[in-house]
A and B are shown apart, each in its own frame.
Chain A
C-alpha cells in the first residue's frame, strides 16, 4: 500500500492506495467462469500507536487498486509518529503497510 500522511494545522490528511484487483462477483463470472473467484478488500483500518483513526467495511464496488483518502484530528499525534494501515480481503488475505506522519 502506498501511503502519504501529512500533518498540517492539527489535522492529518492521508492518501493511501492499495494494490488489489477488487474483482467483483460479476467480473469473476465473466472472466473466469466462476463467482467463487471474486475477491476484494472487505475491511481496512488505520492506527497511530494503539489509536484507531480509520475503520471501514468495504464492498466489491470500490475501484481496482482502491484509493482511500481520509482525514483525522492530530490530537496527541506528531510528525514522525507511525501510521499503520491494514486491509483484509474476502479470501482472508491481509496486508499491512506503514508510513510516518510528515
Chain B
C-alpha cells in the first residue's frame, strides 16, 4: 500500500474514534437487527455483544416474585457501573430482547418499565461496561396470567 493511502486511512479511522459518545445515539433495531429476532437469551447476547460471557455482579434487577398480570410486569434495573449500554432480556417470549438503552454522559442506570411475559421465567439485565466486560443480574419470577396473547 502507498504510504499516503495508509496515512489517510489511519487519519479517517482516528476521526471516527474521536466522535463523542453523546453524539452516537445508536438505534440498535437498525444496527443490530438479529438481536430482536433471536429466540434465546444466549443468541440475542451473541448478536448484541459477540459473546455470552458475563460477570454476575453489579446489576440489580427488581421484579415481583409473582406477577399477577403477565401483560404488565414491573421491572427496575439499577447499576453503578460506568457503562455503554444496558439490555434487558427474558427467556419466555417468542424473542428474548426487550429493550436496549444506549447510554450517554448524563445517564444514570436506574430504569423502570413494564413488560410482557408469556409465562414464568427469568429476566436478565446486561450492563456493557466501558471496561469491556459484561455484567449481569437477573430475577426469576412466576407469572400468574401470561401476557403475550392480550
Q: Tell me the nearest residue of chain B to A31, going by C-beta.
A: B150
Contacting pair A75 B106 (CB below 8 A): yes
A20 near B: Cβ within 8 Å?
no
Contacting pair A63 B99 (CB below 8 A): no
Total residues of chain B contacting the partner, CB 8 A: 38
A34 to chain B, nearest CB (A): 15
Number of A-B contacts (CB under 8 A): 107
Taking residues whose C-beta sits less than 8 angstroms from the other chain, chain A's interface range is 20 to 34
How far apart sit A30 and B94, CA to CA, in the bound complex (Å)?
15
**Apart from A56-B100, A56-B101, A58-B98: 7 A-B pairs, beta carbons within 8 A:** A55-B25, A57-B99, A57-B100, A58-B99, A62-B115, A69-B112, A71-B108
A-side residues, CB < 8 A to B, are 11, 24-27, 30-31, 42-43, 45, 51-64, 66-73, 75
